[in-house]
Structure 1
Amino acid sequence: MKYSTRLYTILLISGLYFLTACGEFLELKPRGTQLEDNFYQNQQQVMEGLIAIYDVIQWGTSGGYTMKMPLLSTASDDCYAGGSDASDQPGWVAWDKFTLNPYLGPQTGLWQKNYTGVYRANLLLSKIDNAPGLSADFKKRVIAEAKALRAYFYFDLVRFFGRIPLITGAIPTSDLYGQKQVEPAAIYAQIEKDLGEARVDLPVSLPIAEKGRLTKGAATALLGKAVLYQNNNSRMAEAVALFEEINTSGVYALVTKFEDIFRPDNQYNSESILEIPHSTKASWGDWGWVNGGEGNVAPQFVGPADFNGNTYSNGWGFCPVTESLAQALKDDPRFDATIIDGKKLQAEGATYTKRYQNTDYFIRKYAPLKAFRSTVGTAELNWPINEIEIRLADVYLMEAEALVRGGGDLSKAKFYLNEVRKRVGLGEVEATLDNIYNERRLELATEGHRFFDLVRTGKADDVLPGFKEGIHEVLPIPQQEIDVTNKTLEQNPGYN
């Protein structure tokens, strides 16, 4: 089932679902469609409605290829766009070079994906009170997950677009095209409200059969991150308290070997706090930008094109790692677990095609590994490689940053900063913002954090060629959204 690229058409969909599997606990076979009025009649149907929300976080082919990890790496100084040439994925190239306009860029898919998630969360929340036969504990947990997921989608939307419509419930048909944008502060307030309420009723840990569902730790980390990203130094103590809750919980621990974090056979490891699951259990073969399977297409994108050699499978040559990141990691113990050195592979006898913007460096953390290539469906679309969106090292570094920015305990900030460095055998450094931001780049390279880090710290204009302050912090609103609302929606500054 294809979803419209327009928010307002999405809102008109009368609750029809195409349910697919989504990780360990989300293993329902597609059940076709069912009218909203006849749905939510028992606990099983409510669960399917929840799965339909979770399903959206896996999407990477909405309105084009819009997988967060490689796309955000392309927008940053971690990677270039790559591909066969500049016309291969022009939206990626436009964000890489900051030649975006209302018609060109990744904005349509990102808008579609996240508002679909918001719509599904709102729908479930509007129906659950009238669903019969639900146990109290089941109902509380489902509401908590739906709210946390809505916050997750809005956190992406506000970072991608800035001023956006805030929709938290059903909208009368007569009002569909009149939803105006609100300031980011209102979006963040809703995110904080949803996560604050959700984390009370989410479980601290999960049994194996439920891996992939949200936990209290995931909601708490996301809440702390949302506070941090608002750049209000007077609130840094709030962020510290949230991060400290995770860091001292005993639930999470740094993985001993850095390279083991990203092994596809080490999913949901001790360091993982928020992980997006992918598998081959719902194999997929549709090349038409339809979100139907649960595989991950990102590894296919980032692998060396036409690769012939050991360890790796053939990729498409997108997201070649920049020379600047390779240079920054040159003498760092994390290099080999972060970057594939193509020249080294060639010296060992491997071959690959050097494509657009080739640097001979490729993403290693989510590379297409031969041992995990799908044997069902279309292999390129079905990589069973999860995405770790928030992990403990990230939270350590966010707490260190919040402590420094808020005038907190610098000895504690230094401890968390150096715990990350100690894991890979690096010596201690002082807890300064420059050291923390540098550590974030090296530790979290190619994981999709760098672009937003540059934007929120005001460094993007100095680091990213083509970036213009006051414009490129956000994407343009998709032009078709503006057109369908008869310009009720306003374009972001600089994109008119």
Structure 2
Amino acid sequence: MKFKNIKYTIAVLAIMQVTVSCKKDFLELTPRGTALEGNFYKTEEEVYQGLIAAYDVMQWGTSGGYTMKMPLLTAASDDSYAGGSSPSDQPNWVAYDNFKMDSRLGPQVGLWSKSYTGINRANLLLSKMEGNTALSAAFKDRVTAEAKFIRAYFYFDLVRLFGRVPLITKVLPTSELYTQQQSAPAEIYAQIEKDLKEAYPALPAPVAAAEKGRVSQGAAKALLGKVLLYTNDNAKIAEAATLLREVNSNYGYALLGSFAAIFDPNNKFSSESILEIPHSNNAAWGDWGWVNGGEGNVAPQYVGADSYKGPVYSNGWGFCPITESLVDFMKNDPRFQYTIIDGKALKAEGATYTARYQNTDYFIKKYAPVAAVRATSGTAELNWPINEIEIRLADTYLMEAEALVRSGGDVTRAKTMLDLVRGRMNLGSVAPTLDNIYNERRMELATEGHRFFDLVRTNRAVAVLGPVGYTANRSEYLPIPQGEIDITKNAIKQNPGYN
């Protein structure tokens, strides 16, 4: 998914009527104007545009408020605070940071609507390909696989964020829009597993260079391995280890020699990247009212130091200041300098910035607003061309190691995986215990949005986050958006512990 000025709009039925806007670079198309959904999806070109509409939602970070996954989930963990100018700047973030969400306060509206928009677009695409004789078999198989991957991707977000959610695998008629009820997490996981197992055989390994951003077989297996790990079912965890070994051994991925190179915005889709969500400043977007219409990543603007003046970086808004906990945890690790910006050191070198709410003088570096790539057209704050790396090889190495240890598998192989991650940083070998693997995950993947879910799924969240407000049987899930409960007249039920 690289980007260019390609735009089209089709009317689609989700939980509400929505329009879609896409500007994608791996499609060499010209602008197409407007078409009704009923007259669309007739040709491969139109189906391809529908596919891009589904992919497009993965980029969104501003549905129902600013809900960019990487910084938001970092704020929910012990890696950073919420930050901003004050507690009232982004109260939904502050509520997630201290686990004081309720049915109307928190990031749930944006995360819910984003995921169901993506699911609806995938469902619509799948329905339109049924019986379409204008599509070649190879084209149809691949697009079907991609649509199922996208649906699985969004359901994985939903089940981790909300637990019980409506399971929708078809385009709903109007009469069924407001009668949907929630399915148990086990049912959601079963559907995700089914979609991914049906998807990966038809996906390429790897994708062509001109199609970077489309999912590969390796990405589908990596996501499936991660999903199975999250089920906490020992049999499935053993299967996860097998899948992750295939990802780590058979698809040509390789750890980069330089840790810093992973997050260099000029080094997109590196050999270490397995699932990467692209962003671009080509659209020169400037519409604050519909930020998702552009292709830029707003997260770097969020996490940069406020009113910063100095070398390397651009000014940001001061969200997600790094916690003292993470600083202390990483201070003796060589990855610290590539993960965390030391504001005091910058000031000592002559830089200036404004301390904001919850300031610690430490900031996220992996996705910082690097001045060299700041957009020169449109609204720069909306157009950061910095990709989001959702899954990378060091992550799958550590997941395989964990899955092997938890399922009683090959401990020697688990040690090899752990040592490979540490070896890049010239760190010595450690025993492949779960504690060592979990510590390595925090060190290696800090501020990338993994930590909160890692704590929840391994039953460590109460011990780690309890002092800042996390409570068992409540805080692991967000509240269901009150609007969904109201519009369905209580067919959809609120999660326990929320009012």
Give the TM-score taking structure 1 as reference length: 0.96
Aligned to 2:34: 33
Q: What SS class does the counterpart of residue 34 from structure 2 fall into? A: coil
Q: 1:20 touches 1:27 (CA, 8 Å); kept in 2?
A: no
Give the distance between the partners of 1:350 and 1:382, measured in 2 at CA. 24
Q: Map of 1:245-394 to 2, 5 A cutoff?
A: 245-394=246-395
CA-CA distance at 1:133 after TM superposition: 2.0
Q: Map of 1:220-259 to 2, 5 A cutoff?
A: 220-259=221-260
Distance 1:352 1:316, change over 3 A: same
Q: 1:21 touches 1:27 (CA, 8 Å); kept in 2?
A: no
Distance 1:395 1:383, change over 3 A: same
CA-CA distance at 1:171 after TM superposition: 1.8
> Does structure 1 residue 180 correspond to structure 2 residue 181?
yes
Q: 1:18 touches 1:31 (CA, 8 Å); kept in 2?
A: no
CA-CA distance at 1:28 after TM superposition: 5.4
Give the distance between the partners of 1:26 and 1:358, measured in 2 at CA. 43
Q: 1:400 touches 1:416 (CA, 8 Å); kept in 2?
A: yes
Q: 2:104 touches 2:482 (CA, 8 Å); kept in 1?
A: yes
Aligned to 2:481: 478
Give aligned-pair identity as a percent: 65
Q: What SS class does the counterpart of residue 319 from structure 1 fall into? A: coil
> Does structure 1 residue 489 correspond to structure 2 residue 492?
yes
CA-CA distance at 1:286 after TM superposition: 1.3
Aligned to 1:10: 14
Q: What SS class does the counterpart of residue 52 from structure 2 fall into? A: helix
CA-CA distance at 1:26 after TM superposition: 4.8
The runs of 5 or more residues in structure 1 that have no matched partner are: none
Q: 1:73 touches 1:319 (CA, 8 Å); kept in 2?
A: yes
Q: What SS class does the counterpart of residue 178 from structure 1 fall into? A: coil
CA deviation vs aligned residue, 1:57-99 (integer Å, no higher than 9, x gap):
0001101000000000000000100000000000000000111
CA-CA distance at 1:135 after TM superposition: 1.3
CA deviation vs aligned residue, 1:257-302 (integer Å, no higher than 9, x gap):
1111000111000000000000012221111244100000000000
Q: 1:11 touches 1:176 (CA, 8 Å); kept in 2?
A: yes
CA deviation vs aligned residue, 1:43-68 (integer Å, no higher than 9, x gap):
10000000000000000110100000
Give the distance between the partners of 2:371 and 2:388, measured in 1 at CA. 18
CA-CA distance at 1:30 after TM superposition: 5.7
Task: Give the counterpart of 2:22 among 20, 25, 36.
Answer: 20
Q: 1:21 touches 1:29 (CA, 8 Å); kept in 2?
A: no
Q: 1:338 touches 1:363 (CA, 8 Å); kept in 2?
A: yes
Q: 1:17 touches 1:34 (CA, 8 Å); kept in 2?
A: no
Q: 1:20 touches 1:282 (CA, 8 Å); kept in 2?
A: no
Distance 1:74 1:26, change over 3 A: farther
Give the distance between the partners of 2:31 and 2:230, measured in 1 at CA. 38
Q: What SS class does the counterpart of residue 275 from structure 1 fall into? A: strand
Give the distance between the partners of 1:114 and 1:478, measured in 2 at CA. 13
The residue type equivalent to 2:113 in the other structure is Q
Aligned to 2:448: 447
The number of aligned residues is 488
The runs of 5 or more residues in structure 2 that have no matched partner are: 1-6
Coordinate RMSD, CA, aligned: 1.5
Q: 1:63 touches 1:289 (CA, 8 Å); kept in 2?
A: no
Distance 1:218 1:322, change over 3 A: same
Q: Map of 1:117-136 to 2, 5 A cutoff?
A: 117-136=118-137
CA-CA distance at 1:245 after TM superposition: 0.5
Q: 1:400 touches 1:413 (CA, 8 Å); kept in 2?
A: yes
Give the distance between the partners of 1:271 and 1:12, measured in 2 at CA. 38
Give the distance between the partners of 1:424 and 1:289, measured in 2 at CA. 42
CA-CA distance at 1:105 after TM superposition: 0.3
The residue type equivalent to 1:492 in the other structure is N
Give the distance between the partners of 1:12 and 1:265, measured in 2 at CA. 38
> Does structure 1 residue 438 correspond to structure 2 residue 439?
yes
Q: 1:278 touches 1:296 (CA, 8 Å); kept in 2?
A: yes
Aligned to 2:3: none
CA-CA distance at 1:29 after TM superposition: 6.1
Give the distance between the partners of 1:119 and 1:18, measured in 2 at CA. 12
